Amino acid sequence: MSELSKTPKPPYYAVIFTSLRTAGDNGYGETAQKIDELAKEQIGYLGVKSAREDLGITVSYWKDLESIRKRHENAEHRLAQMKGYEIWYKSFKVRICRVERDYEFER
Amino acid sequence: MSELSKTPKPPYYAVIFTSLRTAGDNGYGETAQKIDELAKEQIGYLGVKSAREDLGITVSYWKDLESIRKRHENAEHRLAQMKGYEIWYKSFKVRICRVERDYEFER
């Protein structure tokens, strides 16, 4: 089930990022793509899924808290974060979670 | 920040529901609304947020694992689940998580 993120057996970690954007793109699309590509190269990265209507939800999956911490230390990620605060987001909330159980269905 | 779900200080729980729909509504919209209303009445319910492009992501927040378990025992929720398997979803994945840390930004 690659489309819904192939993740290993729990426990692993999820970062739930919920956001409301400001108007206009302001370079967001390009940076978001770059940041996603960087994440894929990082140790402990397990996948990411996004959807946006008014509200945007992005969930990224990680092997452990250490991988999440390292991702946040990445220079380009920090720069994107700054632009997030300054330009792109009206508001956001980040939740760092331990996935304890999962199950799936495929037709 | 009511728009991004007001949740208490961690720890609390999140259910991440990622799904791909089949074609057509087939009564999904009506049932989804009803199920959301039922959840709000339930003890331990803290909020829900959804977004769908091709992929849909719904995250509901709960006080503890007991509230999540009780929700799944609810008769109407079980009926909706059955329709989910039979009609509405091509595939889905459910992840039950313990939110360990959160932070937010508001302009």
Q: What is the pLDDT of residues A17-46, one digit of tens each?
A: 999 999 999 999 998 888 888 888 899 999
Q: For all residues of chain B together, what is the average pLDDT?
A: 90
Strands across the sheet containing A12-21: A45-52, A55-62, A12-21, A89-106, B89-106, B12-21, B55-62, B45-52
| A93 → closest Cβ in B1, B89, B96 | B1
Closest CA to A43 of A4, A73, A79, A87: A73
What percent of chain A clears pLDDT 90, i.e. is strictly above it?
61
A101 touches chain B (CB under 8 A): yes
A29 touches chain B (CB under 8 A): no
Contacts of B52 in chain A (CB under 8 A): 51, 53
Are the C-beta atoms of residues A43 and B26 closer than 8 Å to each other?
no
Q: Which two tokens stand for residue A42?
A: 């990082």
Closest CA to B104 of A93, A85, A57: A93
Q: Is A93 in Cβ contact with B55 (below 8 Å)?
A: no
Average pLDDT over residues B45-72: 94
Q: For residue A34, what pLDDT is reported?
A: 87
Q: What is the pLDDT of residues A43-99, one digit of tens each?
A: 999 999 999 999 999 999 999 999 999 988 887 888 888 888 889 999 999 999 999
Q: For residue B46, what pLDDT is reported?
A: 95
Strand partners, A98: A13, B98
Closest CA to A16 of A50, A52, A40: A50
pLDDT exceeds 80 at position B75:
no
Q: Is A49 in Cβ contact with B51 (below 8 Å)?
A: no
* Higher per-residue pLDDT: B63 or A86: B63
Q: What is the pLDDT of residues B6-54, one digit of tens each?
A: 899 999 999 999 999 999 999 999 988 888 888 888 999 999 999 999 9
Closest CA to A47 of A102, A89, A92: A102
Look up the ipTM and state it.
0.91
B26 touches chain A (CB under 8 A): no
Strand partners, A50: A58
A43 touches chain B (CB under 8 A): no
* Secondary structure element (H or E) that encloses residue B72, with its range: helix B65-73
Find the residue in A nearest to B87 (Cα).
A107
| Residue with token string 């969930």 | A59
